[in-house]
Amino acid sequence: MRTPSPSARSERQKSFRAVVVAVLAALVAAVGVIAPGIAAMNAGIAITIPELLKSDANGVTSAGYIAVGDVAKVQFTWDARGTTLADGDSFTIELGSNFEAREVRTIPVTVVHNGAQVTIGTCQITKTAITCTMNSEVERLRVEGFTDFRGTGETLLIATAATTAETTTMTVNGATTAVDLPGTGGIRAAPLPTYRPANFTKVSTPLSAASKGVPWSIGFGTENLAATVPGFVADGVTTSTLTFTDTIGAGQTFDTNLANWSFSHVSSATSTTRSVLLNAAGRVYNSPGEDFTYTVTFNESRTVATMTLTGVFQPKTNYSLSSPNTINAGNAQEGVVYRNSVTIDGTSLTANGERYYNDTSKVTAALDPGYGGFEVTKYVDGTGVDHVPAGTTFDVVVSYTLPQDASTYPTWTPPGTLNADGRTGTVVLKVSNGKISVFPGSFPQGTVLSLSEDPTSASVEFPDAYSWGTPVFKVGNQVRNTLTIGDRTSQAVSLTNSVSTETAVLAVSKTMTGLEAGATAPTYSFTYACGSVTGTISNVPADGTPVAATPRVPLLAGATCTVTENVEGTAVEGYDLTSPSPVTVELQPAANGTTVAAVTNTYTRQTGSFSVSKVVAGDGSFGADEFLVHYECEVPGAAAVSGDLTVAGGGSVDGPVLPVGSVCAVSEPASSAQRAGFGVETSVSVDGQVGSEVTVVKDTTAAVVVTNTYTRQTGSLEISKVVDGDGAGVVAGREYTFTYVCQALDGSSPSGTVTVAAGSSGSVADLPVGRCVVTEGDAVADGTDVVTTWRVGGQEVTGEVGVDIADGAVASVEVTNTYTRQTGSFSVSKVVAGDGSFGADEFLVHYECEVPGAAAVSGDLTVAGGGSVDGPVLPVGSVCAVSEPASSAQRAGFGVETSVSVDGQVGSEVTVVKDTTAAVVVTNTYTQHTGTFTVAKVVTGVDAGDKEFSFAYECVLPDSSTSSGSLVVAADATPVSGPTVPVGTTCTVTEDAQAAAITGYTLEAPADQQVTVSTDGQVEALSFTNAYTAEPAPTPTAEPSASAEPSASAEPSASAQPSASAQPSASAQPSASAQPSASAEPSASAEPSASAEPSASAEPSASAEPSASAEPSASPEPSASAEPSASAQPSATSAVDPTAAPTATATLDPTVGPTAEPSASVPPSASTEPTAQRTTAAASSSAGSRGTTTTSSAPGSRSTTTGPLARTGVSILFPAAVALTAGVGGILLLVRRRRG
């Protein structure tokens, strides 16, 4: 709804007031010239219409705009306090061009006076206007001092014309007035039809007071049904069928005029034009309707309709089916809820609908500020709505609680009874079906009301068959029975009562006695009276089938009904009828079943009869048996009569009593005359004359004799033998014995034996008819299983073999023994143990089997290590030798031992046992082939004494892995064993030549030796011979040789400074631990140990080795690049600590070429001193004045003789050379820095 701004609303209100004032002035002037007592529009009555509200057909409002065809609610106030009302005064609201009233009707105008509603006039609602006219009550009230003539009114309108304006124009008491429309956008045009896939629905257009039926219709769209209804196709080609079951609710009955049941096209993806296609009476309205057939059937009470629609349904199309009906009360009853439900057969789809009609117009008294009221609209639902008369009233008890004591409201009179507390009380409001019952008074704002209802307070007394449900109150949309009074508002409350009735069904059943079957019986009719409900039940058959009454209104349980037969036309020719008396029944509830009034007619007729005697002759002893005699009688004017009589041999029995003139054919059925094992011939005579036909004579019994003559019957038995199976040879030539034991039909029990060979048969003749049981003697054969199959007459039988012996027939029995050799088997599991890794290999296992009575069987099985494989299935008693070929077990480089066990016992022979698999385990235990080598040491040229020599070996194994180690060997030629290695291993043995050095001797070190182990247990002897040669004695000298001093070439030149990367830092002075010990000889590999290498910064620590660029090579010889050049000069940061052992080469650049070869006294060591120098120094300190010879392992090293004089030279010259070198280096460093 459009909400105008305050200023706009104020301006509009001003304009409105101006118009009202002008209109009122004109009307007052006009009134002055009107003669008193004549009805006229009273201009003094002020009318206000604040706005229109969007609504549904039952007056429930909602937000939003409206379109043409929609419902709107108009609410207005009227106030006549500013004028003097008189009888005939009126006011009018003309609805304008955009609306018309939804219903034409007349409603009362009421005010509240002395706590009661007083009708002071009526409002006539026509299509175009609302005109309210006062009656004489206004003058009576005015005389009594009442002046509060004002109130509110409302009714429903239908929008009839579109407009874009936000207001519509109405004429109020002659004045044009703009009334605000719901929502925004004015009144929109009626929406054009569109296509949207419809769901399965049950709908109805709204009801009015004039509605004679509820216009139900069923809607469905083919898009949705095609996805939910099995077998339904909507493709415009295929024929499909839909069956609807439509159940109408209480208060309604289906219209049985099939012309009113129509099937329509509503809309589709290609057309939105609605059109009727055909009706259930067969009329086709347009060509698409020719594609369909439409039928409708009803139940007896016309409350269930079955609608079957068959045809070619179009895709993407919506259809509808009408469900015409009538309201039982004649027209829609106010407040009654009408229901309808429909299902589609074969699915769970259900659509439900409900409609009700209620009063939507009212004109009531106004409420004062601070006070409010409420109103109740009453509805009735349930199966008993037909029995609740229109206008029935009920009492609603209103319990109220005031916000303050009643004395605080001096102008207000408490309604009903005010309790002693002054704040609570009760009052009763009478409400009527479908009416808006406005409480005749008011309550102070904030009063809390609690509502209740006792349905038994209804103004109409209902029978006990009626059952009332719990009343349901709703305030707004909430189910509750309490509300709080507002300011000048009348709150809407709905109240629904559900009433159900226990209805009953009356039916009549008709039975007869004395009337023969087949006689033409009439149908019967009855009248019934159940209180005020009467009727006729016709066409009741005489077979006891109940026929129900179809009263205009349902019958109620508990009613007493009297049923009377109309006897006219009930006589049957040849019978006398005793007329039945009326039957009275009390109706039980339909839930307990139909109440049936059972009426019986008794007929009598003249009759005669016949008797039957039985004679038995011939073979056998059946004279005392009972026999069955059958009769077929044609009865004049009635249905044929037939039956059976039981008579003993030699006895007699009476036949039925039959109408005179009946003709009966008497015979004995073959099933009665026959006796097992005997043939029989039957003859009949009547009154001594051969023949079987009897004519019934009045009061006479004809004598019928039936004679049976018997002859004994026999047959024969034949047994044939078949032997097959793979074990048939075991029983070749064997004969089989069969025993038969018979139970003959004549009571005898013949038995005997028959011997039959395979492929032949034997027989027994002249057996009395009956049944024989045949059994076979022992057919078992050693080493086989036997299965016996029996065929009797070509049909296989199991269990006991019984053979029927028939008269003159040969009963054949075929017995087949199938012999199957008993078998067993063995499995082979493979276990791999010991050395090697062959667990995943596959192995071959061979078996040789001796089979009893058959050729030997042999073969091979392939089995993986750790796996298992089944052997062949063999006859029981077969003996198998299981083995593994050597070619399968052998593995290169390994010895193998193969063992076999059977079921856990050592052995390789398996004896096959029935249905058993012996477990054979073949185990291969592998031992790897290995060998070794020995190393012996031979020394020549010197007495090595107990010196030990070190050898290193490195072996390459067959799998390309390597193994290395060392041996220590004495010089006494005693061999020392190396490691045990796999065959195929190659080992290289190298002697540690440095460790083999002996002082004073030159060693001719032996070469490395290589050995390959090629056979298991091989020991390859290696011998290494060390040849030593004594070094010549040196020439004595008092001065150290020039070589003991640093040569001139060892003086570093000014330009030959070592590179920054090769210079040790100032901290690179060797520590005291860098002094070589007496044992500090280089190892055979001459490589410094890892801990002896310098760090990346080339600063040697206490154990520092030269950097990678300064390390000696693997050989004990310093590389050419490790010899300091003549120009090698240490930097100032490389000054040598004069207190340390002399290390003249510590600062030399090892990358310089061999132009400055160091003297023998200064070879490089692990701490940047040559090892030989450290050895010499150590030897000097330990040997005293005794000369000692040292052997340098470095290429080009020389043997030097040392003594006291030599030591003195070294002690004096070497420190001086170091100091000189350090001093020159320091000076050069200072010069560089100053230049820099």
Q: How confident is the model at residue 433 (pLDDT cuts 50, 70, 90)?
A: confident
Consecutive H or E run containing 157: strand 150-159
Q: What's 37-191's CATH class?
A: mainly beta
C-alpha to C-alpha distances, 943 to 938, 1001, 1027, 1121, 1190, nearest whole angstrom: 11, 11, 11, 38, 17
Which residues partner with 572 through β-bridges?
Answer: none
Q: 1180 Cβ partners below 8 Å, 6+ apart?
A: 1188, 1202, 1206, 1207, 1210
Give the pLDDT score at 1162.
34
Q: How confident is the model at residue 271 (pLDDT cuts 50, 70, 90)?
A: very high
The highest-confidence range among 425-429, 784-788, 995-999, 1157-1161, by mean pLDDT, is: 425-429
Q: How confident is the model at residue 574 (pLDDT cuts 50, 70, 90)?
A: low
The highest-confidence range among 566-580, 591-605, 1097-1111, by mean pLDDT, is: 591-605
Least confident stretch, 689-693, 751-755, 1126-1130: 1126-1130
Q: How confident is the model at residue 552 (pLDDT cuts 50, 70, 90)?
A: low
* pLDDT average, residue stretch 219-232: 94
Q: How confident is the model at residue 1036 (pLDDT cuts 50, 70, 90)?
A: low
Under 8 Å between Cβ of 92 and 101: no
What is the Cα–Cα distance from 417 to 1090, expressed in whole angstroms?
A: 118
Task: Please give the angle made by the CA atoms of 771, 774 and 778, to the nearest 5 degrees.
Answer: 170
Q: pLDDT tens-digit profile of 897-949?
A: 999 999 999 999 999 999 899 999 999 999 999 999 999 999 998 988 888 99
Confidence check: pLDDT of 703 > 90:
yes
Give the pLDDT score at 1224.
56
| Count of other CB atoms within 10 angstroms of residue 658 | 24
Which sequence spans correspond to the domains of the chain?
Answer: 37-191, 201-355, 367-501, 506-605, 607-712, 714-821, 823-927, 930-1027
Give the pLDDT score at 976.
94
Under 8 Å between Cβ of 783 and 822: yes
Give the pLDDT score at 1226.
60
367-501: which CATH number, 2.60.90, 1.20.1070, 1.10.287, 2.60.40? 2.60.40
% of the chain beyond a pLDDT of 90: 57
Give the pLDDT score at 522.
86
What is the Cα–Cα distance from 1134 to 1142, expressed in whole angstroms?
A: 14
CATH code linked to domain 823-927: 2.60.40.1140
Give the pLDDT score at 1223.
62
Q: pLDDT tens-digit profile of 667-676?
A: 999 999 998 7
Given the structure tokens 């170091």, which residue do they identify?
1218
Q: pLDDT tens-digit profile of 507-536?
A: 999 888 877 666 677 888 999 998 878 899
* pLDDT average, residue stretch 832-859: 91
Give the pLDDT score at 1218.
52
Q: How confident is the model at residue 1109 (pLDDT cuts 50, 70, 90)?
A: very low
Considering the entire predicted model, what is its pTM? 0.44
User: What is the homologous superfamily of the domain 714-821 according to CATH?
Assistant: Collagen-binding surface protein Cna, B-type domain (2.60.40.1140)
- Topology classification of domain 607-712: Immunoglobulin-like (2.60.40)
What is the Cα–Cα distance from 159 to 169, expressed in whole angstroms?
A: 13
Q: What's 506-605's CATH class?
A: mainly beta
Q: pLDDT tens-digit profile of 1183-1234?
A: 333 333 333 333 333 333 334 333 334 344 444 555 565 565 666 655 455 5
Domains 201-355 and 823-927 share a fold: yes
Instruction: Please say whether the structural domain 930-1027 has been given the CATH code 2.60.40.1140.
Output: yes
Q: How confident is the model at residue 1080 (pLDDT cuts 50, 70, 90)?
A: very low
What does the mean pLDDT of the chain come to? 81
Residue predicted with more confidence, 125 or 661: 125
Q: How confident is the model at residue 1135 (pLDDT cuts 50, 70, 90)?
A: very low
What is the Cα–Cα distance from 827 to 847, expressed in whole angstroms?
A: 11
* pLDDT average, residue stretch 268-294: 94
Measured in degrees and rounded to the nearest 5, phi and psi for residue 50 equal -65, -40
Give the pLDDT score at 1230.
55
Give the pLDDT score at 4.
41
Instruction: Locate 751 and state its tokens.
Output: 């038995």
Give the pLDDT score at 1045.
40
Give the pLDDT score at 1139.
40
Q: pLDDT tens-digit profile of 26-79?
A: 433 333 333 333 458 999 999 999 999 999 998 899 999 999 999 999 999 999
Q: pLDDT tens-digit profile of 462-485?
A: 766 678 889 999 998 899 999 999
Least confident stretch, 872-881, 995-1004, 1113-1122: 1113-1122
| Count of other CB atoms within 10 angstroms of residue 1110 | 25
Q: pLDDT tens-digit profile of 135-174?
A: 999 999 999 999 999 999 999 999 999 999 999 999 999 9
3-state secondary structure 917-952: EEEEEEEEEEEECEEEEEEEEEEECCCCCCCEEEEE
User: Which CATH architecture describes the domain 201-355?
Assistant: Sandwich (2.60)
Q: How far apart are the first and last CA of the chain?
A: 99
* pLDDT average, residue stretch 1047-1054: 37
